[in-house]
Amino acid sequence: MAKKLYIKTYGCQMNVYDSERIAEVLAPLGYEATDQSAGADMVILNTCHIRERAAEKVYSELGRLRKHKNAMAAEGRHMVLAVTGCVAQAEGEEVLSRAPYVDIVFGPQTYHRLPQMIAEASRASGQVLDTEFPEESKFDGLPQARTVNGAAAFLTIQEGCDKFCTYCVVPYTRGAEFSRAATDVLSEARNLVAAGAQEITFLGQNVNSYHGEAPGGSAHGSEWNLARLIREAAQIDGLARIRFTTSYPAEVDDDLIAAHGDVEKLMPYLHLPVQSGSDRVLKAMNRNHGVDEYRRLVDKLRKARPDIALSSDFIVGFPGENDADFRATLKLVEEVSFIQAYSFKYSPRPGTPAAMMDLQIDEAVKSERLAELQALLNTQTQNFNNQMIGKTVPVLLDRTGKMAGQLIGRSPYMQAVVVDAPQNLMNCIVDVTIDAASPNSLMGTLNLDSRKACA
């Protein structure tokens, strides 16, 4: 009898990738994905630890799942309840003590061992906790074959972070930087294309610090950087588009800028978090770059690829941030002009240096600054979308629209594009002429005989 597996994923794309791999690890044990937690034989919460609210959400969700678990127990059935991701890694013991009905807690580095953990949990009366950073790489223990939902796929190439920004928990929850061997990445990319992917996004907490062992390289100690990996991946037949995220400004090298200039399959969109426009605040954040360095980088990127769209991350209300610092952030945003950006109020995270800093900013001031910043960013997004009207762009159609006969796709600049199109064009790249623009999407007309490539 197929067993039902429900995975709820919080947070970043790397958690999405891990959830997909976890499902592939459990498929040989007879687990099939379901979108209902009620009645599922196994429920896994893949958690995020970036902001306070994210962690607390996990405990309220566990409380809700406890009811399902008890209901199944009343019918003589057992639901295996597990927690993974960064909350599990950061506070595994606490999860087990605050939610003693949880069976398994495992970290992002140990899910290749899940079959053993399930066996152990069913044998032992106790709970299973595995939040190690194992010697062996989890990637070596994962199934080779990949499954793809739609035409776009994520592929983790690098994990962990050595930067220790003073507000961030990632170095503690994901460990030191690790780059996968180029051969393994390229073989997984080919498997994804064979399974229908036309667009692959390379993932890493610090993806552009990638330095993977070159094919046959360990003997010669040679490594590939991200630019080299992209150039090689671009040779894969059937792979139409390449993206990568998340980048660290100080690690954007000339090779990567050149790749943006001349690798056609590399999409003209770069997520380049800057966090603040004040050198004083960047220093307090321990960000290894200044504002001028960021400006120069943007200029070099735009020289190499004039139509490149930039997105970013911003934190307002970092400890000690004064009004002049915040004005400097607004000034940088005005100068660079972003297609979109994620912006947040500073949220103290337990165990991070910034949480212990003096001059914590009042919540009301943080909210005021966030509102002003987001108003400016929204204007920039609308301006970017408006200038697309009348242009024809290749769009990868990968979702159904709200209206009948409507499909939604992704432009090279990651914009959502809504178009009237027949269902048989799903997972195809087609040309669309943009007729209208809203803050969150573009509307367009299909160029009928423009089907470029299909999964």
List residues binding ligand SF4 (CB under 6 A). Answer: 161, 163-165, 168, 170-171, 205-206, 248
For residues 5 and 282, which CB has a smaller minimum distance to ligand SF4 in the complex?
282
For residues 5 and 168, which CB has a smaller minimum distance to ligand SF4 in the complex?
168
For residues 170 and 281, which CB has a smaller minimum distance to ligand SF4 in the complex?
170
Residues 70-90, buried b or exposed e (16+ Cβ, 10 A)?
A: eebeeeeeebbbbbbbbbbbb
Cα(357)–Cα(22) distance, integer angstroms: 38
Considering the complex, what minimum distance in angstroms separates the CB of residue 174 from ligand SF4?
A: 8
For residues 34 and 205, which CB has a smaller minimum distance to ligand SF4 in the complex?
205
Considering the complex, what minimum distance in angstroms separates the CB of residue 167 from ligand SF4?
A: 7
Considering the complex, what minimum distance in angstroms separates the CB of residue 247 from ligand SF4?
A: 9
Considering the complex, what minimum distance in angstroms separates the CB of residue 272 from ligand SF4?
A: 12
Return the half-sphere exposure (C-beta side, CA atoms, 13 A cut-off) of residue 125.
0
For residues 161 and 396, which CB has a smaller minimum distance to ligand SF4 in the complex?
161
Cα(442)–Cα(444) distance, integer angstroms: 7
Q: What are phi and psi of 300, to 5 degrees?
A: -65, -40
For residues 201 and 206, which CB has a smaller minimum distance to ligand SF4 in the complex?
206
Considering the complex, what minimum distance in angstroms separates the CB of residue 319 from ligand SF4?
A: 16
Q: Among 183, 111, 189, 196, which residue's Cα sits nearest to residue 398? A: 196
Considering the complex, what minimum distance in angstroms separates the CB of residue 161 from ligand SF4?
A: 3
Considering the complex, what minimum distance in angstroms separates the CB of residue 351 from ligand SF4?
A: 13
**How many other β-carbons are positioned within 10 Å of the β-carbon of residue 1?**
5
Task: State both tokens at 362.
Answer: 């009042």
For residues 69 and 163, which CB has a smaller minimum distance to ligand SF4 in the complex?
163
Considering the complex, what minimum distance in angstroms separates the CB of residue 40 from ligand SF4?
A: 32
CA dihedral angle for residue 271, residue 277, residue 278, residue 283, rounded to 10 degrees: 0
Q: What is the DSSP letter of 266?
A: B
Considering the complex, what minimum distance in angstroms separates the CB of residue 350 from ligand SF4?
A: 15
Q: What is the DSSP string of 113-125?
A: GHHHHHHHHHHSS
For residues 171 and 319, which CB has a smaller minimum distance to ligand SF4 in the complex?
171
For residues 273 and 394, which CB has a smaller minimum distance to ligand SF4 in the complex?
273
Cα angle 54, 170, 352 (rounded to 5 degrees) comes to 85
Contact yes or no for 283/245 (Cβ under 8 A): no
Cα(332)–Cα(336) distance, integer angstroms: 6
H helices present in 124-246, as ranges: 170-173, 182-194, 226-233
Cα dihedral sign for 419, 424, 427, 429? negative
Considering the complex, what minimum distance in angstroms separates the CB of residue 313 from ligand SF4?
A: 8
Cα(368)–Cα(154) distance, integer angstroms: 36
Label the pairing between strands 241-245 and 199-203. parallel
For residues 232 and 293, which CB has a smaller minimum distance to ligand SF4 in the complex?
293
